Amino acid sequence: MSVNAEKEITKLWRNLHAAQTEICRTFYRWREVAIEVAGPGMKPIDIALMAAEMMGKDIGKGLLPRLNWLKGEETFLTMLGGALAGIWVTEGGIAMAEKGENPGEVFVRCTRCPWPTAAREFGVPMEEVALTRERLFQAILEDVSVFFNVNLKIEMLKAIPRGEGEYLLRLYKEN
């Protein structure tokens, strides 16, 4: 029996996009349940930020074996920026890491992010989407900073949910 490669690739591509969409929807379904369980004393943004921090710490621990300081600071930061961009790509975004103008800095740019679309479906404010993404990345860097004894920081310069057309984050080593 012959295989229609184009048909198989199209089927895999559709399945990948469906899985990526489900990642975002599952997070927001979980958020709704957590808000309901927490009761009126808890703000939805606080619940979302706590979840982002928990997920970030877990992702950060998983990144440690993949990072290497031996090739120097610039290569390390580029690898780390690429790993952060890779998180977006896994979720269905278009992202990349770019060297900064100054040594010790890398920019992570995302031009397509699936989270605002999913958030709209669940009535989540766009500012929460931007803040949870920033908190996720900050939490990832906490264990990486401790493990490599380097003070790493990340700051969000632009965010798609804020209407700025792209995410732009500056990853840098603080002196």
Query: What CATH number is associated with residue 122?
Result: 3.30.1380.20
Q: 125 exposed, middle or buried (CB, 10 Å; 0-12, 13-18, 19+)? A: middle
159: containing domain: 5-173
Please give the full DSSP string across the chain, using - where no structure is assigned. ----HHHHHHHHHHHHHHHHHHHHHHHHHHHHHHHHHH-TTS-HHHHHHHHHHHHHHHHHHHHGGG--STT-HHHHHHHHHHHHHHHHHHHT-EEEEEE-SSTTEEEEEEEE-SHHHHHHHTT--HHHHHHHHHHHHHHHHHHHHHHHT--EEEEEEE-GGGTSSSEEEEEEE--
Measured distance CA(145)–CA(147) in Å, rounded: 6
> What confidence score (pLDDT) does residue 77 get?
94
Domain count, the chain: 1
Question: Is pTM, for the whole model, over 0.75?
Answer: yes
Taking only the tens of pLDDT, the chain with its 175 residues reads: 788 989 888 888 888 788 888 889 999 999 999 999 999 999 999 999 999 999 999 999 999 888 988 888 999 999 999 999 999 999 999 999 999 998 889 999 999 999 999 999 999 999 999 999 999 999 999 999 999 999 999 999 999 999 999 999 999 998 7
User: Phi, psi (5° rounding) for residue 154?
Assistant: -140, 140
Q: Which residue has the tokens 């369980």?
A: 37
Q: What does DSSP say about strands 105-112 and 152-158: parallel, antiparallel, or unpaired?
A: unpaired
